């Protein structure tokens, strides 16, 4: 973290990192401080390659899960409101606050049939970084951590995945963890915004496909 903080001349990013860390450290569903940290680092990497505003990107990445709707009764406005209150306490420019709050509000995946466009390159960068953390080896681990936190079955062969066509349907979904791969994770490669993320997603997507192939072989006692 220290390497990233060296570029934070005003201290806004460092203070925000410490604030978010204090709220999310030790959280067990895969939406903990270290998820934020990885998204932050990846956002910086993508932002530099895509020439995005680094301050907006870093603040957006750090605050993107400040109050995730999944843990606030499905309310999408809690996160933006909490992010705004924090940034106002630091006297951040309103233009930056508005952009960060838009990222927090619109970043989430909302179902296979629901478009979630980001109008700014900064939003696209953070959304891509968040989605990259949902796939690959880290994504596999996080998916099972989240499923366990919600007492979901690991896998049920009698239960088919659902390609949710609305956010309300997606919020109500309660399928197995393996189904979540088909309902979300395997769809993310084609939903990356930036050229950088599209390139990085290729390998992570392949890791998930190989995991699922092995999982089914072991499930049936063939490996």
Residues 187-222 pLDDT 10s? 999 999 999 999 999 999 999 999 999 999 999 999
Q: Confidence band (pLDDT; 50, 70, 90) for 31?
A: confident
Distance in angstroms (rounded) separating the CA atoms of residues 207 and 56:
31
Q: Which residues contact 120 (CB under 8 A, 6 or more apart)?
A: 56, 99, 102
Distance in angstroms (rounded) separating the CA atoms of residues 57 and 47:
7
Q: Domain range spanning residue 144?
A: 2-219
- Answering whether pTM is above 0.85, one says yes
- Percent of the chain past pLDDT 90, that is, above it, reads 77
Supply the Cα-derived Rg of the chain in whole angstroms: 18
CATH for 38: 1.10.3210.50
Distance in angstroms (rounded) separating the CA atoms of residues 33 and 39:
10
Please write the tens of the pLDDT for every residue from 131-147.
Answer: 999 999 999 999 999 99
pLDDT at residue 2 above 50? no
Give, in order, the Cα–Cα distances in Å from 123 to each of 58, 84, 96. 11, 16, 12
Distance in angstroms (rounded) separating the CA atoms of residues 57 and 12:
12
The reported pLDDT for the residue numbered 93 is 93
Maximum C-alpha span of the chain: 60
Contact 79, 67 (CB under 8 A): yes
Q: What is the 3-state secondary structure (H, E, C) of 64-132?
A: CCCCCHHHCCCCCCHHHHHHHHHHHHCCCCHHHHHHHHHHHHHCCCCCCCCCCCCCCHHHHHHHHHHHH
**Of 46 and 29, more confident:** 46
The reported pLDDT for the residue numbered 70 is 56
The reported pLDDT for the residue numbered 68 is 64
Q: Confidence band (pLDDT; 50, 70, 90) for 163?
A: very high
For the chain, the domain total comes to 1
Q: Which residues contact 17 (CB under 8 A, 6 or more apart)?
A: 1, 5, 40, 62
The reported pLDDT for the residue numbered 189 is 98
Distance in angstroms (rounded) separating the CA atoms of residues 132 and 59:
18
Q: How many residues does the chain have?
A: 223
The reported pLDDT for the residue numbered 69 is 53
């Amino acid at each position: 973290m220290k390497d990233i903080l060296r570029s934070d001349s005003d201290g806004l990013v460092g203070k925000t990192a410490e604030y978010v860390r204090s709220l999310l450290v030790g959280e067990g569903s895969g939406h903990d401080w270290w998820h934020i940290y990885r998204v932050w680092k990846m956002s910086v990497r993508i932002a530099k390659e895509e020439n995005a505003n680094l301050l907006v990107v870093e603040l957006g990445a750090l605050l993107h899960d400040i109050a995730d709707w999944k843990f606030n009764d499905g309310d999408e406005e809690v996160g933006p409101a909490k992010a705004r209150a924090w940034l106002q306490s630091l006297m951040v420019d309103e233009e930056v606050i508005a952009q960060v709050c838009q990222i927090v509000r619109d970043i989430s995946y909302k179902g296979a049939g629901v478009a979630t466009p980001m109008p700014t390159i900064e939003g696209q960068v953070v959304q891509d970084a968040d989605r990259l953390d949902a796939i690959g080896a880290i994504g596999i681990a996080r998916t099972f951590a989240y499923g366990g936190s919600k007492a979901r079955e690991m896998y049920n062969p009698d239960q088919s995945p659902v390609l949710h066509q609305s956010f309300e349907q997606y919020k109500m979904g309660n399928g197995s963890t393996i189904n979540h791969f088909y309902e979300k994770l395997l769809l993310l490669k084609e939903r990356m915004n930036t050229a950088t993320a599209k390139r990085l997603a290729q390998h992570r997507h392949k890791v998930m496909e190989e995991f699922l192939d092995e999982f089914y072989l072991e499930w049936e006692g063939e490996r």
